[in-house]
Chain A
Amino acid sequence: MSDDEIDLKALSDDDLVGQMHDDLYDGLKDEIAEAVMILLDRGWEPYKVLTVALVEGMRIVGIDFRDGILFVPEVLQSANAMKGGMTILRPLLAETGAPRVGKMVIGTVKGDIHDIGKNLVTMMMEGAGFEVIDIGINNPVENYLAAIEEHQPDILGMSALLTTTMPYMKVVVEAMKEKGIRDDYVVMVGGAPLNEEFAMAVGADAYCADAAVTVDMAQEIMKRRHNQRGADPRPA
């Protein structure tokens, strides 16, 4: 270790978490993985590491992306650093029965192979306690319907980057209507060329401007759903 490198093990919990936020911001994957292991060794629950250190760090990244301070390459570096931490935490979260806020099926629409935004949403939703089934790119309506039937999610997420492919979202929503299942699911849509008006025009429930907004909206929607069902929405 060089003189200017920080000894993560020597930091207090609070300082280490602050350092992790900085390291996520700077996209330092190895440092994030090391810090996750340190917190776990200190007895932190995996879910606490995820939410307090990683998700909060990515929330800061998301704000600066929205404000034009960070750009896509930097956000991708941050996301890859978070993935390094998630790789360690995911099996532990499964073992320890971390709270599940809800379930989402997500995919990029037919004719579109862009998935950067979708992948960011997937990661942030997982971090927020959602189970996410990612059906990938270039999905015809049949893929969405099959995934809905198989996984019975709370939320269907659709992504598109192209003006030419985004109208396909309406095809999926119409197919759900035809099958009489549209109102059984929350439909959230996002992608660079979309806007609120378009989302409403295709019959979606929500337009998601970015990954952080998606998480906030999904959490709010799930709370409402739980309240409507008379259940306590808060994670245990």
Chain B
Amino acid sequence: MSGGEGAVMAPTTQIDLSIDDDAEFKAELKSDGAARALVIACGALAREIVDFRAMNDFIHLDITCLPAKLHNRPQLIPQAVGDKIRANKGKYHSIYVAYGDCGTGGTLDKVLEEEGVDRIGGPHCYAFYTGQSAFEAITDDDPTSFFLTDYMVRHFDRLIIEGLGLDRFPELRDDYFGNYTNVIYIAQTRDADLEAKAEAAAERLGLGYIYRHVGFGELEAFLETAAASSDKG
């Protein structure tokens, strides 16, 4: 367990940002039990959400995350999110889901519709970090970019190199990345170390490198709405 880089946490907050196991990242304020809203988030957003919550003092907003590695099998995401909603429905006034469609082909939205729960808009985190229209402009113009977020840069070796088997089979590089031209690092924070890692990642994949600081993008407004809902509740 770790407090996370730069996160200012209440003493009772539990954090596990590891992607090595199925342990859930969880942030709960137990000091006054006043949290009326819950955000169910993808583990890949965990650190950013915790940081943002701490920076904005959203003490009445609880957060629980599902393992980021569900992205390896997106068809499992709707069920996992649905289970999490049902497990928490009686405990909170409002529940919000911080997932894009994330490759579920609309099946996550069906679950959310049945449960009456909203999610952040967009197909994936790249889009809501960048802003939907800005992201579309990039990809419409040229679909050959591979996007990295802070989370992906931090865990590049684990997620990309090991996850795709490139450590064992480097010859598969062209199968995976042969159609890409650039890595675009859409950074949430300004961090020289991460930027250097991202550039090294691009080089390792044999792709060009573009840096764009986009911050938390539409995730900010989404969390503010959730926090406001908790305060009203």
- Flag if A113 contacts B105 (CB, 8 Å): no
Kindly identify which residue among B74, B123, B140, B165 contacts A192, using a CB–CB cutoff of 8 Å: B74
Do A163 and B106 touch across chains, with their CB atoms under 8 A apart?
yes
Contact of B165 among A71, A115, A164 (CB under 8 A): A71
Q: B14 at interface (Cβ–Cβ under 8 A)?
A: no
> Chain B interface residue count: which class?
20 to 34
B88-127 vs A, CB cutoff 8 Å, 1 = contact: the mask equals 0000000000000111111100000000000000011000
CB of A185 within 8 A of chain B?
Answer: no
Contact indicator B74/A113 (Cβ below 8 Å): no
Instruction: State whether the Cβ of B211 lies closer than 8 Å to any Cβ in chain A.
Output: no
Residue of B nearest to A71 (CB): B165
Residues of chain B lying within 8 A (CB to CB) of residue A198: 105-106
A27 contacts which chain B residues (CB < 8 A)?
169
Report yes or no: B165 in contact with A72, Cβ–Cβ below 8 A: yes
CA of A94 to CA of B67 in the docked complex: distance in angstroms?
50
Is A73 interfacial (CB 8 A cutoff)?
yes
A contacts with B, residue count (CB < 8 A): 27
Cα–Cα, bound, A76→B176 (Å): 10
Asked if A40 is at the interface (CB within 8 A of a chain B CB), the reply is no
Is A143 an interface residue, CB under 8 A from the partner? Answer: no
Q: Which residues of A contact B123 (CB under 8 A)?
A: 162-164
Q: Which residue of B lies closest to A195 (CB)?
A: B105
Do A193 and B104 form a contact, CB below 8 Å, given A112-B143, A162-B123?
yes
Contact of A116 with B103 in the complex, beta carbons under 8 Å: no
Q: How far is the CA of A116 from the CA of B165 in the complex (A)?
A: 14
A111 at interface by CB-CB < 8 Å: yes
Q: Which residues of chain A come closer than 8 Å to B204, judged between CB atoms?
A: none
Contact B143 A113 (CB under 8 A): yes
Q: Which residues of B contact A (CB under 8 A)?
A: 74, 101-107, 123-124, 139-140, 143-144, 164-166, 168-169, 171-172, 175-176, 179-180
